Amino acid sequence: MNNVYIFKDYGKVEITLKEILEKKGISRNKLSVMIAVNYDLVNRYYNNLVIRVDIDIIA
């Protein structure tokens, strides 16, 4: 029987936004305003709760 999907493990990406913002002295709210995205999205990256990374956001 042929499988339609092949799942591969490419590893894990860990975003350390919390440490970076603390070092730079930038709040999550200020960052969300600076990059024009919703605070909730920044908060999910901050708490490393992102399931699928959007390259346009982190670029």
35 neighbors 46 (Cβ within 8 angstroms): no
**pLDDT tens sequence across 12-59:** 777 789 999 999 999 999 999 999 999 999 999 899 888 777 667 666
**pTM score, whole prediction:** 0.69
Question: Of 42, 10, 16, 44, nearest to 29 (Cα)?
Answer: 42
21 neighbors 31 (Cβ within 8 angstroms): yes
d(CA 18, CA 3): 41
